[in-house]
Amino acid sequence: MKKDILGRKGRIAGILLLLFLFFLPFIAPRFYVYMASIILLTGLLATSLNFVLGYGGVFQFHHCVFYGAGAYGTALMITKGGVPLWISFIAGPVVAALLGLVMGIICVRLSKLYFGMLQISLGSLVWVIIYRWYSFTGGDDGIHGITMPDIISSYNNAYYFTLFVSLICLFIMYRMIKSPFGSALQGIRDNPIRSEMIGINVRRHQVMALTIAGFFAGVAGALFVVVDNTVFPDMLFWTLSLETVIMCLVGGWFTFLGPMLGTAIIIALRTFVSTYTVYWALVLGIIMVLVIFFLPTGVLGFIEEKLNKKMIEPVIEE
Amino acid sequence: MDFIYAVIPPQVLNQIFVGLSRTTILFIVSSGMSLILGVLRIPNVAHGSLYMIGAFMAFTVSKAFGGGTTGFWMALVLVPVAVAILSLIVERGLFQFLYEREHLMLLLLTFACSLVLGDLVKLIWGAEYKSVPVPHMFQGFVPLFGGIPFPLYNMFLLIVGPVVAIVLWLIVNKTKIGKIARAAAVDREMVGAVGINVSWVFAFVFVIGCLLAGLGGALVAPTVSVTLGMDHTLIMEAFLIVIIGGLGNIWGALLGALIFGLSQSLGILIWSQFGIVFPYLAVIIVLLFRPTGLLKSTW
């Protein structure tokens, strides 16, 4: 969407950004390559959340459940499954998508805030089970030192794998949003009753969107296993979910690349601030308050508003 | 008594009492949350942080008064007031400007507050565990069912719970401001139209709710180790209780807290490793059959 609005300049900027990302391992030290991988996969997570939250208008507060499910699914398949390694990478996202389907079917009967709170409670159940099931999931220690296929075991190759997979996933999600399905989803967000009237099956569309978002969050989780070789129960804790919502907000929902930008801002800032002080949460909280008060459409939303004043603002309201 | 023991073993009865004293804490915190959610429509994530601050303040106050019985009573009086003042500052400084915005923004704002408050606690009290002594008059155990010792302090909690419930019921149903608050929960514009300053009614409700969080923190402090992160688990439990009870319904919060506390304490008897899973299962079962909570919500 950024490219549509910025036109030729935007396209050049996009190509330059891709070239930069491609050559990053040659010019940057290992730490920054690792950080870029984390930004990419967390950005994928935030984009998948935005898929249901910004475009679908569904209050999916506890999205990291699917991130964690994807990561744990992959990790457990590798360590205990005994199947070919590459199948494990498919298995994680599929587990997450199934979880998304089940939770979607349960939650979609409710609307807005009730949906969000029921979703948080179901997600917490999943968290508690993983947190307590020492014999299977390793409990609060998580699983460490997961062996990767040789081809993606080095830092740079893991980075390229992450870059490649997340770009493909972003592209697929972008096409989905531009497809009739995506339009129907946005229609439901803006006016569910009218959408129902013109023959859109609201709940089925929402459940499908939740399943798709769960799948891509699961992909992000599997990528985390590739980059970090660990999983731990905090990946499913609700604070991380709300941090992901913050990333969407900072970058700007209703824009496709906003969550990615927001993730980059938050993670780069966290890395920067953490070298000076341990009180990162304090800084993040203050940034949050400022963004909510002065920049409610996020950075990219703000830029788009400046560039294109005619744009009609979508509303999420009860 | 032998007849009762034949039907319900003494261990189970004992666990029920343990669960009931946990219920007291859960009820006090979640009723405050439910009040705020029902009237102001804010899903207050910072509620848990205020509970944690209450517990840390109880540590400081009780230490300042020598850690004895006086310190405990002073903490019980001073801490909720201090938390209420803090919440009033937050409400007047931040929340009152955002009542017209979407719930999502309010939720995120409260989350931002909880991040800031959490780090302030780390800044002021440090990251170590703190322990608050049980006051002298509540030390020791009473032999309850079948001679199983039951902490005296938990007996005290069992008395506090109903008292708080009755006081809260009186405030909401019998005082003028309580009636205005209930009216504002249904239709805030109409209440404003008859000449009532809704903004201050909201502030009042917010402060009462947060006062309950502080009280819960002060009450729980002697029974647990006061530590950072105690807000994160509690807030989730309070959220669940409010949902299964019905948003904004104080009796629903009581019912939810009972379900939560009892299923947890009895679940430990059944399967000790997964005792913590049972309340969540109870929540799911309730929500599958009554997705909007057991009692009528104010929404």
Q: Is residue B153 part of a domain?
A: yes
CATH of the domain at A92: 1.10.3470
C-alpha gyration radius of chain B: 19
In terms of CA atoms, which chain B residue is nearest residue A127? B277
Q: Is residue B171 part of a domain?
A: yes
Interface with chain A: mutation pick from B40, B100, B108, highest number of A CBs within 10 Å? B108
**In this complex, which of B43, B97, B115 lies closest to A281 when CB atoms are compared?**
B115
Q: According to the model, what pLDDT value does residue B279 have?
A: 85
**In this complex, which of B115, B242, B277 lies closest to A132 when CB atoms are compared?**
B277
Q: What is the mean pLDDT of chain B?
A: 84
What whole-number percentage of chain A has pLDDT above 90? 19
Q: Which residues does chain B have within 8 Å of residue A116's beta carbon, measured at their own beta carbons?
A: 43, 107
Q: According to the model, what pLDDT value does residue A172 have?
A: 92
Q: Which residues does chain B have within 8 Å of residue A114's beta carbon, measured at their own beta carbons?
A: 243, 247, 291-292
Model confidence pLDDT, tens digit, residues B16-61: 888 888 899 999 999 999 888 888 888 888 899 999 999 999 888 8
Q: Is residue B279 part of a domain?
A: no
Q: Is residue B256 part of a domain?
A: no
The answer to whether B274 contacts A237, with C-beta atoms less than 8 Å apart, is no
Query: Within an 8 Å CB–CB cutoff, is residue B89 touching chain A?
Result: no
Q: Is residue A312 part of a domain?
A: no
**In this complex, which of B98, B102, B291 lies closest to A316 when CB atoms are compared?**
B102
What whole-number percentage of chain B has pLDDT above 70? 96
Q: According to the model, what pLDDT value does residue B187 have?
A: 82
Distance from CA of B133 to the nearest CA of A (A): 29
pTM value is: 0.85
Q: Is residue B93 part of a domain?
A: yes
Among residues A230, A158, A178, A211, which one has the least CA distance to residue A48? A211
Segment B106-128 mean pLDDT: 88
Residue where the block lists tokens 């008897």: B269
Query: Within an 8 Å CB–CB cutoff, is residue B45 touching chain A?
Result: yes
Q: Is residue A158 part of a domain?
A: yes
Does A18 have pLDDT greater than 60? Answer: yes
**In this complex, which of A121, A278, A285 lies closest to B112 when CB atoms are compared?**
A285
Q: Is residue B268 part of a domain?
A: no
Rounded CA-CA distance B108/A14 in Å is 31
Q: Is residue A82 part of a domain?
A: yes
Q: According to the model, what pLDDT value does residue B299 have?
A: 57
Distance from CA of B280 to the nearest CA of A (A): 6
Q: What is the mean pLDDT of chain A?
A: 84
pLDDT band at A314 (very low <50, low <70, confident <90, very high): low
Does B203 have pLDDT greater than 70? Answer: yes
Q: Which residues does chain A have within 8 Å of residue B292's beta carbon, measured at their own beta carbons?
A: 110, 114
Token pair of A32, please? Answer: 């920054």
Q: According to the model, what pLDDT value does residue A6 have?
A: 54
The answer to whether B292 contacts A110, with C-beta atoms less than 8 Å apart, is yes
The answer to whether B283 contacts A125, with C-beta atoms less than 8 Å apart, is yes
Q: Is residue B17 part of a domain?
A: no
Q: Is residue A314 part of a domain?
A: no
Q: According to the model, what pLDDT value does residue A58 have?
A: 86
Q: Provide the number of structural domains found in chain A.
A: 1
Q: Provide the number of structural domains found in chain B.
A: 1
Q: According to the model, what pLDDT value does residue B234 have?
A: 87
Does A42 have pLDDT greater than 80? Answer: yes
Range of the domain at A208: 2-307
Model confidence pLDDT, tens digit, residues A63-88: 999 999 999 998 888 888 777 777 88
Q: According to the model, what pLDDT value does residue A318 have?
A: 40
Among residues A181, A210, A163, A216, which one has the least CA distance to residue A47? A216
Q: Is residue A318 part of a domain?
A: no
Q: Which of residues 218-277 of B touch A (CB under 8 A)?
A: 232, 236, 239-240, 242-243, 247, 273-274, 276-277
Q: Is residue A313 part of a domain?
A: no
Model confidence pLDDT, tens digit, residues B123-179: 888 888 888 878 777 777 777 766 777 788 888 888 888 898 899 888 888 888 888
Query: Within an 8 Å CB–CB cutoff, is residue B289 touching chain A?
Result: no
Q: What is the 3-state secondary structure (H, E, C) of B155-209?
A: HHHHHHHHHHHHHHHHHHHHCHHHHHHHHHHHCHHHHHHCCCCHHHHHHHHHHHH
ipTM: 0.82
Distance from CA of A207 to the nearest CA of B (A): 17
**What separation in angstroms does the CA of A235 have from each of A3, A67, A123, A208, B273?**
32, 7, 11, 24, 21
Q: Is residue B36 part of a domain?
A: yes
Model confidence pLDDT, tens digit, residues A44-64: 999 999 999 888 888 888 899
Q: Which helix (H) or strand (E) holds A228?
A: helix A202-228
pLDDT band at B267 (very low <50, low <70, confident <90, very high): confident
The answer to whether B105 contacts A292, with C-beta atoms less than 8 Å apart, is yes
Residue where the block lists tokens 């946990």: B22
Query: Within an 8 Å CB–CB cutoff, is residue A59 touching chain B?
Result: yes
Q: Is residue A257 part of a domain?
A: yes
Q: According to the model, what pLDDT value does residue A2 have?
A: 45
